[in-house]
Structure 1
């Protein structure tokens, strides 16, 4: 067995840090090379869960890193410590992937580790309520938002709490792709009875990325009847998607209607203050000490989602370990500068005012006046909502732009628009268009 040169391994890790992005995990620092022989790099992982993650998500990342470091065609294989010991004199056997199992609960996905803010407060509160009273509070619970904003975190945290409070409850937690594949397999093998029993007798059915039902007509038909059976039996249904029910293409109207029966909660991108809080909590959970200037740097650089914030922490921590340096602003700039992260210039309240006055055809003087007619109040509240969402200004500073209004007025406007857009698709669409116009201009 040919051992791996430490210098070569360091090059592999540095390449992973430079190109890994959101795929990087904190425990990558625990990976150790076993051997490099016959064009195969064997890597030891901490456990089974980490092995499964690497096989499903990081194989290509490490393969390309190994090839870049060696200049040769290299394959990679991930082994646990037990598998490493059991190999003995036998040649390595790479496991063949089995059919995808239901999603296992991630230990990191709990309510205690979720950071709440204006962007996700409704979704978090609804998830907690469902976990305390499954099947009776919000059924179904439909969480939607862009990638990496915490939908899966809340879905699994809700299921975890239900399982803790009701150890005998039957939970089916899986991705929509797995549900589709199980259905196709059941049809092919003539096992529809077993398939229906499996999912229609669950106390909780939680399906991630339900938008993948799109264009699967037979599966939609099956899920429709599964939904009805569970709903009528007061069993909890939790769904997540990257868009609202009405925006999922080629989804049957009767399913759209049923998805809206309970509560549809949208999760937005975190504001600057929420990103700061997320970085503090995620760094603390990983026992990584980040100086305040590094936290502020990352929060201003990575403005998209929680997953990329976690990836940024991992990259900084890994570079610090590989280079044997303490974490400071310069190291953070090196770690995150290797792969440019999408950034935007600061949005100003002036740009928000310009976009809103154009969209709603109102005058700036009216927005800053004491007028309270709906034609003026609504655009003014939209301005305050967008200022709170897109800028770093405090409530008091935002109020100052609108005739010296106090922070409670801004807070009320934020809550009002947040509530209205949940039930008014036209208002939500208008806010989305204004936001796009503002960000495109910065």
Structure 2
């Protein structure tokens, strides 16, 4: 029998695999990397402090029994925790049985918040007639953990969110950043965390706010000379949920303000939950000091749901609505609509509407007609990165060419076209488009769009360029 750390860990995994669900095994044990075995101390590497805490809380007995069986009664486990992109130089050692004082501390940088205090704090969400601070959490009551279907695509994010809800501000994963493409459930999960916190801790001040709304409030506060009131209000939140943080791209003043709010809340032991369409490392137009703080806690991805998860989502929705649909029809819908949860649920709603209005039985044929119409008429949501790639491919350029500081006509023209299509085919702000294409400001994007429109009216060849690229983008 081999006594190497790899052999020992493989034998441990074979036991663990038989004692936990397959999703849990893939989520919590497959990412672990065995590093060494020395004097009955097995050293393993885990991806984040959250992994350490979750393993300790949920699987401590199983780990202890398995390790003692394979190594001996004096077996010990040593964790090497990855912090960001680097591995902690000092691993945390845990002896079995573990004790409650084996938590990992993830301390923030000590950055003071410089604002002038005022006795009266203005609350943008205040309810008239109530004197004390009362904040409407802005949470959608249906978006609970109970209604959030778990699968391989989201198990880490869901587990992290539930752990945060049980102990907001008291875990190593603060902030919790949830990222993924549109329609995969980021907002639902963020609301679920807030709802669970309010149920467990009714006195905590919880607030969900979209980045665009935050930006609007900040602009109005600045215009009305109430910036300090704005800061002080957000500093009093116990659990701040900020949705679509990528919308801060290119908005330097807003980022600076949120930077101070972030520091104050984090250092005060308050919980921050952020959502984004990309991980921090891929966010453009954001200050590095802010991005570094986004990486302090846990970054969890929501992926496209697999077939089994899509089936479960459809079954859950039909059960909730009290409607009976055959498994055959549900499987047909799940196999033909796979991009995101929002499209999947929308397809089911469309099918039910057609069945009710036309008084038709829900069959495979009806589902097929609905899917064909929905897929044909639905407008694919494009990304700025994808648009830039299509434009560059058309002109035989690289995406890096668009970012270069050059006045070459062909590059400037390609950059302007990428901005033009990004404005017309995405929901991104002008500032966000500019920051991602050449690191330009919103005025440059506006100028590019006007230039493209003028050239289409006066230059027939240029008009052909635009038409051909548009066809490629709509394929």
Which of 222, 225, 228 is the matching residue for 1:190? 225
1:250 deviates by 1.2
Which of 158, 162, 181 is the matching residue for 2:193? 158
1:395-422, Cα deviation, whole Å (9 max, x unpaired): xxxxxxxxxxxxxxxxxxxxxxxxxxxx
* Aligned positions of 1:51-200 closer than 5 A: 104-137=138-171, 138-200=173-235
TM-score, normalisation: structure 1: 0.54
1:263 deviates by 0.4
Which protein, 1 or 2, shows the higher relative CO under an 8 Å CA cutoff with sep ≥ 6?
A: 1
Which of 308, 311, 317 is the matching residue for 1:273? 308
Q: Report whether the alignment pairs 1:337 with 2:341.
A: no
Which of 298, 302, 307 is the matching residue for 1:263? 298
Aligned partners of 1:315 and 1:336 also within 8 Å:
no
- Bigger mean CA offset, 322-331 vs 169-178: 322-331
1:114-161, Cα deviation, whole Å (9 max, x unpaired): 111111100000000000000012210000000010110110000000
2:274 match: 239
- The number of equivalent residue pairs is 245
SS of residue in 2 equivalent to 1:173: strand
Q: Which runs of 4+ in 1 moved over 6 A?
A: 99-103
1:172 deviates by 1.7
* Aligned positions of 1:364-379 closer than 5 A: none
Which of 317, 320, 340 is the matching residue for 1:305? 340
1:288 deviates by 2.2
1:274-328, Cα deviation, whole Å (9 max, x unpaired): 1111111122122222211111100111010111110011001111110112211
Aligned partners of 1:302 and 1:342 also within 8 Å:
no
Aligned partners of 2:141 and 2:195 also within 8 Å:
no
**Residues 256/179 of structure 1: CA separation in 2 closer, same or farther (3 Å cut):** same
1:100 deviates by 10
The 1-side partners of 2:146 and 2:186 are apart by: 15
Unmatched 5+ stretches in structure 2: 1-123, 127-135, 379-475
SS of residue in 2 equivalent to 1:206: strand
Aligned partners of 2:194 and 2:207 also within 8 Å:
no
The 1-side partners of 2:370 and 2:301 are apart by: 32
2:383 match: none
Aligned partners of 2:137 and 2:206 also within 8 Å:
no
The 2-side partners of 1:234 and 1:100 are apart by: 23
The 1-side partners of 2:150 and 2:197 are apart by: 20
Unmatched 5+ stretches in structure 1: 1-98, 344-442
1:205 deviates by 0.6
**Residues 269/165 of structure 1: CA separation in 2 closer, same or farther (3 Å cut):** same
1:334 deviates by 2.1
The 2-side partners of 1:103 and 1:165 are apart by: 14
The 2-side partners of 1:316 and 1:239 are apart by: 34
Aligned partners of 1:302 and 1:341 also within 8 Å:
no
1:317 match: 352
The 1-side partners of 2:161 and 2:125 are apart by: 26
Aligned partners of 1:172 and 1:199 also within 8 Å:
no
1:379-402, Cα deviation, whole Å (9 max, x unpaired): xxxxxxxxxxxxxxxxxxxxxxxx
The 1-side partners of 2:349 and 2:138 are apart by: 23
SS of residue in 2 equivalent to 1:340: helix
SS of residue in 2 equivalent to 1:240: strand
SS of residue in 2 equivalent to 1:111: coil
Aligned partners of 2:138 and 2:207 also within 8 Å:
no
2:237 match: 202
TM-score, normalisation: structure 2: 0.50
